[in-house]
Structure 1
Amino acid sequence: MATKGDSRWRRLVRKLTSDVEELDADDLSQKAEASGAQRACDCRSGEEVTVLGRLRTVELSPKDATATLEAELFDGTEGVTLVWLGRRRIPGIEPGRTVKAKGRIAVRDGHKVLYNPYYELQTAT
């Protein structure tokens, strides 16, 4: 029978033996779950979802192309591409920022996408 002390010991050993990226992914996943968001790996095409994660990349469309802004959101389980059509820039949408996004999941080239999602910039905690 495991005691409370055993559980703490196991968590400490895991933190000491895991790499930083794995720990960061676990932390992101826990924050997303605590906020009531779905895990990206559990989202299916056609579902209305809320996801929370950190923006890994933000890509602006060239001036001579149709205006789009794309950002990859990672929640610790999987990435979701956020695409805003008709926008070249959105203040606050930048790599490293934590965002909660809501919309209907689609699949484009095998990757999960939210088009024109409602979003909330999260404060650092």
Structure 2
Amino acid sequence: MSATGYLKRLGRRLTEDLDTLDAEEISQESKAAGARSAADCVRGEDAVMQGELRSVETCSKAAKTGVAAEFFDGSGTVTLKWMGRHRIPGIEPGRKVVVRGRVGEKDGRKVMYNPYYELLGDE
């Protein structure tokens, strides 16, 4: 490894926006695992994606009972919705997951209902 390459990467990490660096890191991990990127998924398609949960909320209104999470893989976001659940152990912000399911669309946003999921790491 050359010293100039190392210094260039170090300088970039010290000066670039943290959100951009975070997105690049998550995207690289997803590609390395062979997962599909959220940006490339289209409505009606079965997909396997790897990324992290940015936010998680529970809806307890009668018609909207469930857990909703914002999944981010560095390329885009997908809303994950588990219907009929009040809480899912391990589904929390910052957690890295692999999700599998059919991509849908609601209000112009990508959504995946009741996806299969696998928790990664011990975060």
TM-score where L is the length of structure 1: 0.87
Q: Which runs of 5+ in 2 are unaligned?
A: none
Q: 2:91, 2:38 → 1: CA distance?
A: 19
Aligned length: 122
For 1:83-120, what per-residue CA distance to the aligned partner results, in whole angstroms no more than 9, with x for missing partners?
01111111000111111100011011111111110000
Residue pairs, 1:81-92, within 5 angstroms: 81-92=79-90
Which secondary structure state, in structure 2, belongs to the residue aligned with residue 33 of structure 1?
helix
Residue pairs, 1:40-55, within 5 angstroms: 40-55=38-53
Percent identity, aligned pairs only, is 49
RMSD: 1.7
TM-score where L is the length of structure 2: 0.89
1:27 matches 2:25 = yes
Q: Which runs of 5+ in 1 are unaligned?
A: none
For 1:43-93, what per-residue CA distance to the aligned partner results, in whole angstroms no more than 9, with x for missing partners?
111111011111111110125444211000111111111001111111000
Match of 2:59 in 1: 61
Which secondary structure state, in structure 1, belongs to the residue aligned with residue 20 of structure 2?
helix
Q: 1:120, 1:15 → 2: CA distance?
A: 30
Match of 1:71 in 2: 69
